[in-house]
């Protein structure tokens, strides 16, 4: 026997089945929203994982293609590695829930969300987010919930709660907000230059809806929730802290961390750690947790310096941005490049342009999105933080940072009609000390302009941090946080935008939510900072897109043909189009509406290919002049190829003004000749003449 709970949410019924399936998991919620079905489970190991100083939480979002009636491609016909959308959804679920687990909890926890059917009117991502929260809340896993999430879209200027897939894809806002019973705990947004005031309105609209969902979750927990299990705490003993302060005083620790040079600070902490290792040589149980203890000591020191003394580790004012620098064209021969430096954070971005056929193919649960024209990739090598480890490809963090910068710039990109290119931007992290994703946004914007991409407006990004005290009123917002302030602070609030409004938000916090004054101040601070970055730094490196793409970038010309003639251009089994490509070295894409894009780096060859396509698709009329090659000679005349697959016949009597006995007396195979169309012969065939071509031709 199972129990079912329902509530109306945004005009649709949300139903949660408890005890129907997945009974061996610590918590399981079988979620239904419209016809969208998601199975969410929460499981935890019985004992803590040894030798770690972090909470081992794994969040999975599994896209089953049977949910939309598809069989996976490839040889195995199974779902492979997680898609980019699945990874980003997992991150959005992880970020608000992680702070609500105990900080000293070391048991492995897995939150699994399996999408089993998809109703386009009810996005599965929001169902999985709610399912993860409900399954954890009703389980015996320690968790300070409830936690609810709502998505807000925009259609015709109006907010839409939990929008359909179509409204989400095509509207001006994609906002996800997570809340506890009192505060906002996570914000993720992509926006088409939404003003700050409008964004705040949408955030707190979602927050209010979250309160009704939290009340619904609490009702379920009251009736079927399990008692939370006891766990082995991994907190640092107070006795150890007291002894550490005798060895290294708080004043000495302040002196060690108070520097704007990351390497100097790390060296200072290394020496302090060696002192502790010598002092605790006989206490093996303390040596095992010394790394975490030193981290906590640093954290308390930095937070006290910032919150009580208003001193930042690098000496900056609370609202001061680190030294900035911007330059373009530092990498030769690429299509566009730029570098943006903020303190010890440095990003080099390289843009590559290609024909639209090089767009990324997307295979997922959203059947409306099958390709991506703009791709933003972010790389974070170990040398950027002075470490050494082999590269294993992008992890979830790298994919998330690339997606954030991509989201920031999509609203200002030209349309395919305005700029018929696929665009790839790659952000290479040269050096990292906080907020590389925002530096990637700035570098990418400049690289796009340097590449000649006619973006509509300049975009910049900046991050704000937070240190809180004992009460909601005791806090300090920091502009442009560096790595140390991110590690030891409570918030990383990233905002990108133009002069007119916001294009993306990503908010991560380590506490149980933010009050509205904190959110408002962070949004205000980030606006002030991004305007300064654009006006005083980026615009001095490049203030508008270049008028043309660079020397080494492919050029694209377009012409329209009758869609009924597409088959003539392609030819049998692609013979005609492949011959054009082979002769000219260009790349040709043809859309269903007859738009032909010709891409190449040699303008002469592009013009030649365009002429071939024009000839192939032109109905020959009297008086038209063509240039072609002699491909066949007969007794009665010669056949001239004007374009691949397109030939005409010149009768022997029309080859020369004087009478000739043999075609070979005038023409040889391979000769390039100019002909004029004379209309149709008695048999209805098109006839050409060489001798009647006007002399000025």
Higher pLDDT, 496 or 637: 496
Q: How far apart are CA 275 and CA 281, in angstroms?
A: 10
What is the predicted pLDDT for the residue at 622?
Answer: 83
What's the gap between Cα 211 and its chain centre? 30
DSSP state of 225: P
**pLDDT 10s digits, 148-165:** 999 999 999 999 999 999
CA-to-CA separations, 535 to 458, 463, 540, in angstroms, rounded:
10, 17, 8
What is the band of 696 on the pLDDT scale with cuts at 50, 70, 90?
A: low
Q: How far apart are CA 505 and CA 524, in angstroms?
A: 13
Joined tokens for residue 396: 């979830």
DSSP labels, 73-93: -TTT-S--SPPHHHHHHHHHH
Cβ–Cβ < 8 Å for 476, 510:
no
Handedness of CA 294, 296, 301, 306 (dihedral sign): positive
Q: What is the mean pLDDT of the chain?
A: 92
CA-to-CA separations, 557 to 71, 451, 474, 561, in angstroms, rounded:
38, 17, 60, 13
What is the predicted pLDDT for the residue at 447?
Answer: 98
Q: How far apart are CA 524 and CA 527, in angstroms?
A: 5
Residue 10, sorted as left (phi over 0), alpha (psi -120 to 50) or beta, turns out to be: left
Joined tokens for residue 49: 């994982």
Joined tokens for residue 15: 């139903």
**pLDDT 10s digits, 643-657:** 887 788 899 998 998
Q: Which residues pair with 573 in a beta bridge?
A: none
Q: How far apart are CA 256 and CA 236, in angstroms?
A: 21
Q: How far apart are CA 176 and CA 487, in angstroms?
A: 24
**pLDDT 10s digits, 63-106:** 999 999 999 877 888 988 899 999 999 999 999 999 999 999 99
- Provide the pairing of β-strand 595-600 with 555-560: antiparallel
DSSP state of 393: S
Query: 673 Cβ partners below 8 Å, 6+ apart?
Result: 627, 628, 629, 630, 640, 650, 667, 690
Whether residue 325 is predicted with pLDDT greater than 60 in this model: the reply is yes
**pLDDT 10s digits, 399-446:** 999 999 999 999 999 999 899 999 999 999 999 998 899 999 999 999
Whether residue 683 is predicted with pLDDT greater than 80 in this model: the reply is no
Joined tokens for residue 637: 């005349």
Task: Please compute the mean of the pLDDT values over residues 669-682 and round it to a whole number.
Answer: 86
Handedness of CA 434, 345, 408, 378 (dihedral sign): negative
What is the predicted pLDDT for the residue at 86?
Answer: 95
**pLDDT 10s digits, 31-42:** 999 999 999 999
What is the predicted pLDDT for the residue at 371?
Answer: 86
What is the predicted pLDDT for the residue at 369?
Answer: 78
- Provide the pairing of β-strand 324-328 with 555-560: unpaired
Report the length, in residues, of the chain. 697
Measured at the CA of 534, the angle between CA 532 and CA 539, to 5 degrees, comes to 125
DSSP state of 229: P
Helix-strand-coil percent breakdown of the chain, rounded to 5?
35, 30, 35
Whether residue 282 is predicted with pLDDT greater than 90 in this model: the reply is no
Joined tokens for residue 288: 């095992």
Terminal CA-CA length for the chain: 90
Task: Please compute the mean of the pLDDT values over residues 584-592 and round it to a whole number.
Answer: 89
**pLDDT 10s digits, 209-259:** 999 999 999 999 999 999 999 998 888 889 998 999 999 998 999 888 888
Task: Please compute the mean of the pLDDT values over residues 276-285 and round it to a whole number.
Answer: 87
406 membership: H or E segment, kind and range: helix 396-409
Whether residue 697 is predicted with pLDDT greater than 60 in this model: the reply is no
Joined tokens for residue 77: 């016909």
Q: How far apart are CA 639 and CA 633, in angstroms?
A: 6
24 exposure class (CB count in 10 Å sphere: 0-12, 13-18, 19+): exposed
Query: 327 Cβ partners below 8 Å, 6+ apart?
Result: 338, 339, 541
Whether residue 618 is predicted with pLDDT greater than 90 in this model: the reply is no
- Provide the pairing of β-strand 336-342 with 587-590: unpaired
What is the band of 593 on the pLDDT scale with cuts at 50, 70, 90?
A: confident
Contacts of 586-590 spanning 24+ positions with Cβ under 8 A? 587/355, 587/357, 587/554, 588/613, 589/355, 589/356, 589/357, 590/561, 590/566
Task: Please compute the mean of the pLDDT values over residues 123-150 and round it to a whole number.
Answer: 97
pTM: 0.87
Task: Please compute the mean of the pLDDT values over residues 363-392 and round it to a whole number.
Answer: 88
């Amino acid at each position: 026997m199972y129990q079912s709970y329902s509530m109306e949410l945004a005009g649709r019924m949300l139903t949660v089945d408890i005890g129907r399936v997945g009974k061996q998991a610590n918590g399981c919620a079988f979620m239904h929203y419209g016809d969208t079905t998601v199975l969410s489970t929460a499981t935890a190991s019985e004992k803590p994982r040894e030798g770690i100083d972090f909470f081992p939480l794994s969040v999975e979002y599994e896209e089953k293609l049977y949910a939309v009636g598809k069989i996976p491609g490839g040889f195995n016909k199974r779902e492979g590695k997680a898609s980019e959308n699945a990874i980003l959804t997992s991150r959005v679920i992880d970020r608000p829930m992680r702070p609500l687990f105990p900080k000293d909890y070391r048991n492995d926890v897995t939150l699994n969300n399996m999408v089993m059917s998809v109703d386009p009117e009810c996005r599965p991502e929001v169902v999985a987010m709610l399912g993860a929260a409900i399954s954890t809340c009703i389980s015996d896993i320690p968790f300070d919930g409830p936690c609810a999430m709502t998505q807000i879209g925009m259609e015709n200027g109006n907010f839409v709660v939990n929008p359909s897939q179509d409204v989400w894809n095509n509207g001006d806002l994609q906002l996800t907000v997570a809340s506890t019973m009192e505060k906002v705990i996570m914000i993720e947004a992509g926006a088409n230059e939404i003003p700050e005031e409008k964004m705040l309105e949408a955030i707190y609209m979602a927050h209010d809806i979250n309160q009704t969902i939290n009340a619904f979750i609490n009702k379920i927990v009251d009736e079927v929730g399990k008692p939370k299990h006891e766990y082995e705490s991994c907190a640092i003993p107070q006795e150890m802290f007291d002894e550490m302060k005798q060895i290294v005083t708080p004043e000495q620790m302040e002196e060690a961390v108070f520097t704007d040079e990351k390497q100097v600070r790390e060296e200072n902490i290394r020496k302090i750690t060696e002192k502790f290792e010598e002092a605790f040589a006989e206490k093996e149980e303390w040596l095992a947790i010394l790394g975490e203890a030193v981290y906590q000591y640093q954290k308390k020191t930095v937070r006290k310096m910032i919150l009580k003394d208003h001193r930042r580790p690098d000496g900056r004012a609370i609202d001061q941005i680190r030294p900035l620098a911007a330059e373009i064209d530092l990498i030769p021969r690429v299509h566009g490049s730029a570098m943006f430096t903020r303190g010890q954070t440095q990003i080099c971005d390289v843009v590559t342009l290609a024909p639209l056929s090089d767009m990324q193919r997307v295979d997922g649960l959203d059947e409306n999105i099958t390709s991506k024209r703009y791709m933003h990739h972010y790389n974070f090598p170990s040398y950027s933080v002075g470490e050494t480890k082999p590269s294993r490809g992008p992890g979830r963090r790298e994919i998330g940072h690339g997606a954030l910068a991509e989201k920031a710039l999509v609203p200002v990109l030209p349309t395919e009609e305005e700029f018929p290119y696929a665009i790839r931007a790659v952000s290479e992290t040269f050096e990292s000390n906080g907020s590389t994703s925002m530096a990637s946004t700035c570098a990418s914007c400049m690289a796009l302009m340097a590449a000649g991409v006619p973006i509509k407006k300049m975009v910049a990004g900046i991050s704000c941090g937070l240190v809180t005290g004992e009460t909601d009123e005791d806090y300090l917002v920091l502009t442009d946080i560096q790595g140390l302030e991110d590690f030891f602070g409570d918030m990383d609030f990233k905002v990108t935008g133009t002069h007119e409004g916001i294009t993306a938000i990503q908010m991560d916090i380590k506490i149980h939510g933010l009050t509205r004054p904190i959110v408002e101040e962070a949004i205000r601070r980030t606006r002030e900072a991004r305007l300064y970055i654009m006006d005083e730094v980026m615009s001095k490196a490049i203030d508008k897109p270049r008028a043309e793409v660079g020397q080494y970038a492919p050029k694209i010309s377009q012409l329209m043909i009758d869609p009924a003639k597409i088959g003539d251009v392609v030819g049998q089994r692609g013979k005609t189009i492949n011959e054009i490509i082979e002769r000219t070295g260009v790349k040709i894409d043809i859309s269903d509406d007859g738009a032909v894009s010709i891409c190449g780096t040699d303008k002469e060859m592009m013009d030649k290919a365009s002429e071939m396509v024009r000839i192939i698709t032109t109905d020959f009329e009297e008086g038209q002049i063509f240039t072609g090659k002699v491909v066949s000679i007969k007794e009665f005349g010669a056949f001239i190829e004007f374009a691949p697959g397109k030939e005409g016949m010149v009768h022997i009597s029309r080859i020369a003004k004087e009478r000739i006995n043999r075609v070979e007396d005038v023409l040889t195979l391979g000769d390039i000749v100019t002909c004029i169309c004379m209309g149709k012969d008695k048999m209805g065939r098109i006839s050409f003449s060489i001798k009647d071509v006007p002399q000025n031709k």
